[in-house]
C-alpha cells in the first residue's frame, strides 16, 4: 500500500473517530501524550533488558510501530503534507548530516 493511500485511510478514520476539535495545539498536545505512552513502552523493554530480564517485543511490534505510523499520518494530514515527500527529504537531510561527520 502506498503512503498516499494510507494518508487517505487515516483522514477518513480521523474524520469518523478523532474526537478533538480542529485546534492545532489541542491535537498536537493529545498526540504528544500518546507518543509519551509509546516511549514508555520502549523504555520498559530497554529497562528490562538492562536488568537482564527477558521482555517480549510483542507490544513494540503490535502497538508501538503501527501507532507511530498512525500519529505520523495524522500529523501529515493535519498540516496537509505529502508524507512520502517529507520522508524522502528527511532521509536526504540525514544522509547529508551523516556524511559531514
Structural domain spans, the chain: 3-100
The pLDDT value recorded for residue 101 is 77
- Dihedral sign from CA coordinates of 29, 34, 35, 40: positive
Q: What pLDDT, on a 0 to 100 scale, did the predictor assign at position 23?
A: 87
The CA angle 92-96-101, to the nearest 5 degrees, is: 150
Tell me, what's the pLDDT at 22? 73
Distance from C-alpha of 92 to C-alpha of 37, rounded to nearest angstrom: 29
Mean pLDDT of the chain: 94
State the pLDDT at residue 73.
97
DSSP structural state of residue 80: T
| Residue 19 binned pLDDT confidence (cut-offs 50, 70, 90) | confident
What proportion of the chain, given as a percentage, has pLDDT over 90?
Answer: 89
pLDDT digit string, tens, across residues 36-79? 999 999 999 999 999 989 889 999 999 999 999 999 999 999 99
Amino acid at each position: 500500500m502506498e503512503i498516499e493511500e494510507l494518508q487517505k485511510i487515516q483522514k477518513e478514520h480521523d474524520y469518523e473517530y478523532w474526537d478533538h476539535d480542529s485546534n492545532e495545539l489541542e491535537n498536537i498536545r493529545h498526540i504528544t501524550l500518546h507518543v509519551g505512552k509509546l516511549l514508555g513502552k520502549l523504555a520498559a523493554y530497554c529497562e528490562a533488558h538492562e536488568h537482564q530480564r527477558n521482555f517480549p517485543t510483542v507490544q513494540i511490534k503490535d502497538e508501538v510501530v503501527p501507532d507511530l505510523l498512525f500519529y505520523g499520518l495524522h500529523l501529515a494530514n493535519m498540516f496537509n503534507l505529502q508524507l512520502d515527500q517529507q520522508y524522502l527529504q528527511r532521509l536526504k537531510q540525514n544522509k547529508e548530516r551523516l556524511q559531514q561527520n
